[in-house]
Amino acid sequence: MNKKIYFPGLNALRFFSALAVIITHIELLKHKFELPNYWHIEIIEKLGVIGVSFFFVLSGFLITYLMMEEQENTSLFSIKNFYIRRVLRIWPLYFLILFFGFFILPNFTYLQYFSDNFKLYFTENLICYLLIVPNVSSSFFSTVPLIGQLWSIGIEEQFYLFWPLFFKFFKKFSFKILLYLLGAIVLVKLIVLVLSDFYLLNNLKNFFSMMKFENMIVGALGALILKNNISKSLNLIYNPFVFFSSIIGIFLSIYITPNLLKDGLHLIHSIFFIIIILNISTNKKYFSVLENKYLNLLGTISYGIYMYHMIVIYFVIKFITDYDFLDINSFYGFLSLYGSTISITILISYFSYYYFEINFLNLKSSLINQLKP
Span 77-107, pLDDT tens digits: 889 999 999 999 999 999 999 999 999 999 8
pLDDT, average across residues 177-185: 96
DSSP 241-253: HHHHHHHHHHHHH
Is residue 2 included in any domain, yes or no?
no
Summarised one tens digit per residue, pLDDT across range 32-83 is 999 999 999 999 999 999 999 999 999 999 999 999 998 888 878 889 999 9
Of 117-121, 163-167, 177-181, the range with the lowest mean pLDDT is 117-121
Q: For residue range 210-219, list pLDDT tens digits in order.
A: 999 999 999 9
Is the CA virtual torsion 59, 60, 61, 66 positive or negative? Answer: positive
CA nearest 185: which of 150, 221, 151, 230? 221
Percent of the chain whose predicted confidence (pLDDT) is above 70? 98
Total count of domains within the chain:
1
Averaged confidence pLDDT in the chain: 92
The answer to whether position 77 is within a domain reads: yes
Q: Which of 362, 361, 352 is nearest to 303 (CA)?
A: 352
| Model confidence band, residue 166 (pLDDT cutoffs 50, 70, 90) | very high
Nearest to 276 by CA among 306, 248, 305: 248
What does the pLDDT look like over 225-284, one tens digit per residue? 999 998 899 999 999 999 999 999 999 999 998 877 788 899 999 999 999 999 999 998
Q: Is residue 270 part of a domain?
A: yes
Residue 1 pLDDT: 44
Q: Which residues contact 42 (CB under 8 A, 6 or more apart)?
A: 254, 255
Looking at residue 110, what is its pLDDT? 80
Length, in residues, of the chain: 373
Residue 3 lies in a domain: no
CA distance 273 to 186: 18
CA 47/CA 134 separation, integer angstroms: 21
pLDDT recorded at residue 369? 67
Instruction: Please check whether residue 5 lies inside any domain of the structure.
Output: no
Domain assignment present for residue 184? The answer is: yes
Residue 256 in any domain: the answer is yes
pLDDT band at 326 (very low <50, low <70, confident <90, very high): confident
Q: What average pLDDT score do residues 297-314 get?
A: 97
Range of the domain at 109: 10-370
Alpha helices per DSSP H over the chain: 10-32, 42-74, 79-99, 114-120, 122-130, 134-140, 151-170, 175-198, 202-210, 213-227, 231-237, 240-256, 265-282, 293-300, 302-322, 331-352, 358-361, 363-370
Burial 139-168 (b: 16+ CB within 10 A, else e): bebbbbbbbbbbbbbbbbbbbbeebbeebe
Q: Is residue 273 part of a domain?
A: yes
**pLDDT tens track for 347-366:** 999 999 999 999 999 998 77
Q: What is the pLDDT of residue 116?
A: 82
**High-pLDDT (> 90) share of the chain, %:** 76
Nearest-5° angle of CA 61, CA 149, CA 344? 100
Q: What DSSP string runs through 255-306?
A: HHS-GGGGGGHHHHHHHHHHHHHHHHHH-TTTTTTT-SHHHHHHHHTHHHHH
Of the pLDDT bands very low, low, confident and very high (cuts 50, 70, 90), residue 113 is low
Confidence of residue 371 (pLDDT cuts 50, 70, 90): low
Would you list the DSSP string of 200-255? T-HHHHHHHHH--HHHHHHHHHHHHHHHTT-HHHHHHHT-HHHHHHHHHHHHHHHH
pLDDT at 25: 97
